[in-house]
Every structure is written in C-alpha cells, then in structure tokens.
Chains A and B, each alone.
Chain A
C-alpha cells in the first residue's frame, strides 16, 4: 500500500511522544531530573524537557577532564610541583610556562616561582597530568570559563591554578586513592632501601588523605 512507510514512521514518532510523556509523568512534572548531586543518572533521561542549565547540571564522570590545576598540600600549603618541566615539554600545543624558584644564593630550587597555562591554546589532552611524576598537576572538573576577552583571563597563573589536594581527592576519589597507594608504596620502599636521591623527592611529603 502506498503511504504505509510514512504511516509507520509517524507511528514511531507518536509512540516516542507518548513514551516521553509517560516517563515525565512517572517522575512527576516540574521535578529536577538532573540534580547537581544527581545520583540517579548517567546518560540521557527520556522526557519532554531537556537539562535546565545552569540550574541543573549533568553529573560528571570521575575521569572527565578540562583544564589542568596544580596541587598544593593541605597541611603545609606547599606546592607538590618541583618545576621539573616535564608537563611543559610533553604538552602538544606547548601552552605551559614555568619559572623555577631561586634560592637567595641564586641556585635553583625545586619549586615553581610562577606557573602559567595559556588556556586559550590548551587542548585538554591530559598529557601533563598523565606524565607528571609527582602527581602535582591534575585535570580539573570545572568547566565554566567564559570570558569577554581572550588575552588576559585566558592565561591562568599559579594562583589561579593551584588547588588543595583535598579538592582533588574530592572530585577524583578513586584516582586519588590509587595514586596515594602508589606513593605510599614508593615511600615504604625508599624508607627501606634509602637510595633515592633527594632531587627526585617532592617539595613536600604527600599529605595523609
């Protein structure tokens, strides 16, 4: 019969409307489906209404990555970064600048004096976090960075980049725990063998979290 194909398609569309309506009704209209703490959901929820951003936000998976952040110790407030520069070298668009701190006598110190990331060219690949030997640079979950100009606020300096380790442990609970286990193991080995050089040690001992 001519027109059967069109009617079949319309039937599917109609069923879709009814299903969405039923899904909304089951849940109760007007209720937030995408709660910020959103326990129920990953993936699209059927219904007539989409995410009411910014009131509602999708829950992010732990691995989600946006711009990098620098980790500082909760107790001492010291940076974990040693200004070794691996992140700056591995960065594909080369958007990281580091100024290494100097002691009074002019000798370099394993600590960054300044740390810049040009987020206007950062491609969010996550290599810096992946290859940092000190767990000192991590990919962050915050993604709201809209600005009105691109020259000044796109450059994140050390102050803007730095977060407490506890913040990272909160956003990435599993990764933080796994990294801590590796660090503890290394620490234990070092205490036993005692042959690790001083240069390779983080500026501050990892905090207990």
Chain B
C-alpha cells in the first residue's frame, strides 16, 4: 500500500502588472495572427464571431498568454444583440481575468462552440443555450440541460415572462398597499400556467436516457450466452448517493462505465431571473440558498462582486476580518460535512458523518450567535457585515480554533485515513489528470487534488487574504483519495488563517448600533449601482463561486449570472468515471462534493 501525501505550496500572490491585465496588448497579439479579429471595448476583448475558436486556441497555446483556464461562459441579452461572455484565466502565472466577448445576432444567435479548445465549455454552453437560446455551432450535444424540452422559450431573455408574472422589478406595487391577498396560483390557475413550445406533444415525449434502454435477454443470461450488451441505466434522481435530486445516465459494458451523462435541473428555480428582478440587496439572502451548506461564503462572493462595481465603498477593517473568519469557519464546516458524506458513500455508514456533523454544529452555533441563523445566514452586507458578533462569540471561537477543531480534524483523519478498505476503494479511483482538470475547468479541491495549485485566495486575492500566511494543499494523483487528503489539509490551513485572524482582529465600532456602517445606511436597500460589468469570484469551500454582474445604473442588476462550482465540476464526471465500476461512480460523485441547490440554481 503506497502512502499518498498532499504537498503544500505557497505561490506568491499576484503583485506585478501582468500581460493579461493589458487587454490592448492581448488584442494586438491576436490581431498579429488574425488581422481584424479582435478589438477592445470597456476592458473586454471583443472577438469576431467567425474567429473565436482559433483565437481561443491562440490564447491557450501562446506561451506569453497561456490562457489555459476557461472558468465561465455566460451571455447577456442586449436590446440589439446577444453577448456571449467568456471569463478566462492563466493558471500557471495566476493571471487574469481576461474577458472575451463574442457578439451574436438578435434574430438568430449562433456562435462557434469552444468545446474543441476547452472541453469544459460543454456544460456551460448548454446552459447558455438552454436559458438564453444562443446556439453553439459545432457543439457535440446541444440540448437543454436545466429545463426540459417541453419548456417554451428561453427564460433569461428579457422578453420572457414567467407564468406568475407580476412586474418587471421589485418592489412590486400591487402587493402594496391594497392589502388583499391574492395567491399567485389563483391569478394563473394550474394548466393556464403551462405553455408548451409549438409542435411539442408531451404524451409522445421520452426523457433523455430513457429512449435506448436495452433489456438483457434473461434466457441467454442463464445459458451463459450473453456477451455483455451495452446497458443504459439511470442512477437517480432519487438515489441516496447523488446528494440530492441528480441523475446520472450510465452506459455500461458489464459493470464498467462506457459513458456517463449528468442529467440535472430538478431543483432549477431560475435563480438568475429572480436575481435580475430583485434589488441588489435582496439577492443576498437568495445566495444563501445556492450552496446551502456554506451560505456565509456565498454571501462573501456576492458582496465582493458588487463592491467591485461600487467605487466609493470602503469595508471597515473589523468587518473584513469578520468576513474572513466566517468564510474560513464555513470552509471547515463544509469539508467536515463533505468528507463525512464521502466516507458514508464508501460504506463507513454514519460514524464519520456524525463525527463531522458534531464539529459542524459548534461552528453553526457561532453563525447562529452572530447572524441569527444556522444555515441561511444572510450575514454580509455591501461594505460590511450585518452585526457585530456578541461577546460570547469570542470565547467559543477561541476554544474551537485553538483547541477543539485541531484535535477533531486529527481524530477524523486518524479514524479513516489509513483504513485499508478506504485505501483500496479510493486510491487510483476516479483519476482526473492535471491536463483534464484544467481543460474541464474544474474548480476548488477537485482542481487542486489533480495537482494544480490554483486557489482564488492566492491567484486573485480579495478581501484581506494577502495578509495571512497559509499554503495551498495540492494532490499528486488526482484520485478520490487525493480529494479527501486535500480537503483535510485545507481544513488545517483554514485553522491557520483563523488563528491569525482571531488574534489580529481590530476592535471597532459595533456595527449593529450604527446602520450607517453598512454601505448606503438606512437607505441601502434602494442602492443604485453604477453602470458597469464585473466578474467577481471568491474561493468557496466547493471552488470558485463567481458572480458575473452587469449593471445599467439602476436598482436591479441587468444581468446576474452565477458560476457555480458544483455545476462545472460535474462536467468532468464523464472522464473520471470512464472504465470504473458502478460502485465507484458513487464515491467519485461523493468526492466532487456537489450541492444541488447550487448546481441547478
């Protein structure tokens, strides 16, 4: 039995001006090779539609640019056109972002697919097609992904209205001050709220994956004549190991996986459309519901993204520390939970799970004390935090950080890490090579377990992370066991950050006594955000959670897009599972640590 270890690396934070920061230089470089293909507008690289694939290849392969990491694809519906927006990074020199845009026609939006260059674009392009209706030329499997085929229209287009449509934006006027309760379902009763696309007959509809199930001939099986037909089975959506309503469509050769397609969207609620009709502040509690295991970190990502658009906002020192403390506690709580579930998937039933949850409970007590809720915290505000934690927060936080959690992590690790069953099940299972991890745009512990020392806290330091001394745990093999080890090591690094933060936190004003400390003060709910666009991201426990926000200067976001770590990670599920057995799919999914609230949005 080989000993597998994670290595700790500490790449220096990005300080010097980098080539990617100068979009004009990038455009000049592109235009050398492809004259007239690129231009610059508002800090983004605008690429001609026909040239986008060769340009993306050039950006990736040119050593001076090295844009090897396509993190996010999204689109914006403008009155005269669609913009398809690509946010890309360089992982070796930790540079970025480079925002590439391709314009598409309003009437018939088609852009070339980037799947040949970045395979990870597959799922993200399907999402754009599904929700915005932009077609991708050359995409291998351009089908709806979050919605079903019987859905009429593309919900993120500005002219699309949902069944219970009330008004363009909140606050709604007709709910106030009339005082009469009318339920949405009474306004548009059942059946009137369903519009099917023209020519769609639901009675003849077969869901994807159910169309080509081959049944094995039982007699032939008995006689031993069977030579393993390919069999398509559906794992989920009601399966205990998929961590929610998530389905995997497996094509099997005997017990080996030949192909795996994730089928998701069972928890889809059109979060982005809701977010575009909410006022900026109203989205904060909605982000809690994305990855409901780590709501504080979701708040953090949204707050820093919006704050990038607000030039005057200044976060007080104490609030910065509080944000980091909460985010790192969240990471520990999330990893305990995730590892407990992973080991539960491996068959160590509930013992490690409950040991993990016990520690998580202590951390949730801290959250409840300071924010008022254990899971849906809604704790951060633009320019600060909602409340200063009460006095009893600090003794407990000190006790956890300096004493209890360290021992708990050790005990948790000792409990299972050298267990022979775990080793034989997890080592060299679900291997994701370094190249694949980058190409599929995986994020968080999955990316780092494959040997890429990429962490947003270091690559694009936000808040006050550049002040803390911590390293990035990196795996060597990229298997399930490495993902386990990386998470354990990350918890220890989080503890290191917490120790420094709790020691250094400056005293300061009690924010709850003075609402003006929150940006905008008592009028903050009417916040108007200056015109602009931003891609802000934070290193969440599950990976980089990004918010692509476009403001038209109003009280609501014009475009509110979420780059969900769980969603991009399942894009690599296919390569990880190929050749493995069905039982391994369970633990490979477990090692990705997906949360369906975030995956389906």
Chain A residues with CB under 8 A of B284: 125
Which chain A residues have a beta carbon within 8 Å of chain B's beta carbons? 2-6, 8-9, 12-13, 16, 42-44, 61-65, 83, 85-86, 88-92, 94, 96-100, 113-114, 116, 118, 123-127, 130-131, 133, 139, 151, 155, 174-175, 178, 182
B364 vs chain A, min Cβ distance (A): 9
A123 lies within 8 A of B376 (CB) = yes
A63 lies within 8 A of B177 (CB) = no
Q: Give the one of A5, A42, A91 with max B CB within 10 A.
A: A5
B372 lies within 8 A of A85 (CB) = no
Chain B residues with CB under 8 A of A62: 390
A12 lies within 8 A of B282 (CB) = no
Q: Which A residue's beta carbon lies closest to that of B386?
A: A130
* Other-chain contact of A65, B351, B373, B510 (Cβ < 8 Å): B373
Q: List 16 A-B contacts (CB under 8 A).
A: A5-B418, A8-B415, A42-B369, A43-B362, A44-B361, A61-B365, A65-B372, A65-B373, A85-B177, A86-B525, A91-B171, A92-B282, A98-B177, A125-B378, A130-B386, A133-B522
Chain A residues with CB under 8 A of B372: 61, 63-65, 126, 139
Give CA–CA (A97, B284) in the complex, Å.
Answer: 22
A8 lies within 8 A of B414 (CB) = yes
B392 lies within 8 A of A42 (CB) = yes
B residues 163-222 in Cβ contact with A at 8 Å: 170-172, 175-181, 183
B415 lies within 8 A of A89 (CB) = no
Q: A63-B372, A99-B179 are contacts. A43–B390 as well, Cβ < 8 Å?
A: no
Give CA–CA (A90, B370) in the complex, Å.
Answer: 22
B177 lies within 8 A of A13 (CB) = no
B residues 277-333 in Cβ contact with A at 8 Å: 278-279, 281-286
B181 lies within 8 A of A116 (CB) = yes
B285 lies within 8 A of A125 (CB) = yes
Could you count the A-B residue pairs with CB atoms below 8 Å apart for me: how many are there?
Answer: 135
A97 lies within 8 A of B419 (CB) = no
Chain A residues with CB under 8 A of B181: 97, 116, 118, 155
B418 lies within 8 A of A4 (CB) = yes
B512 in contact (CB, < 8 A) = yes
Q: What 17 new A-B contacts, CB under 8 Å, besides A131-B522, A151-B183? A: A5-B416, A42-B365, A43-B361, A43-B396, A64-B373, A83-B177, A88-B171, A89-B171, A89-B525, A90-B279, A92-B170, A97-B175, A97-B178, A97-B180, A114-B179, A116-B181, A182-B513
Chain A residues with CB under 8 A of B183: 151
A92 lies within 8 A of B175 (CB) = no
B residues 390-425 in Cβ contact with A at 8 Å: 390, 392, 396, 411, 414-423
B149 in contact (CB, < 8 A) = no
* Other-chain contact of B171, A9, A94, A113, A139 (Cβ < 8 Å): A94
- Give me the 10 closest cross-chain CB pairs, A-B, nearest first: A5-B418, A99-B179, A125-B285, A65-B372, A92-B282, A89-B171, A63-B372, A5-B419, A90-B525, A61-B369
Q: Which A residue's beta carbon lies closest to that of B404?
A: A43
Q: A13-B415, A94-B175, A97-B176 are contacts. A178–B513 as well, Cβ < 8 Å?
A: yes
Give CA–CA (A114, B180) in the complex, Å.
Answer: 10
Chain B residues with CB under 8 A of A42: 365, 369, 392, 396
B481 vs chain A, min Cβ distance (A): 13
Chain B residues with CB under 8 A of A99: 177-179
* Other-chain contact of B376, A89, A97, A124 (Cβ < 8 Å): A124
Q: Which B residue's beta carbon lies closest to that of A2?
A: B420
A103 vs chain B, min Cβ distance (A): 16
Q: Which B residue's beta carbon lies closest to that of A115?
A: B179
B13 in contact (CB, < 8 A) = no
Chain A residues with CB under 8 A of B286: 92
B residues 237-289 in Cβ contact with A at 8 Å: 278-279, 281-286
Chain B residues with CB under 8 A of A116: 179, 181
B390 lies within 8 A of A63 (CB) = yes
B362 lies within 8 A of A131 (CB) = no
Q: Which B residue's beta carbon lies closest to that of A95?
A: B175
Chain A residues with CB under 8 A of B423: 5
B66 vs chain A, min Cβ distance (A): 42
Give CA–CA (A63, B513) in the complex, Å.
Answer: 14
Q: A89-B176, A123-B285 are contacts. A43–B365 as well, Cβ < 8 Å?
A: yes
Q: Which B residue's beta carbon lies closest to that of A5?
A: B418
B415 lies within 8 A of A63 (CB) = no
A7 vs chain B, min Cβ distance (A): 9
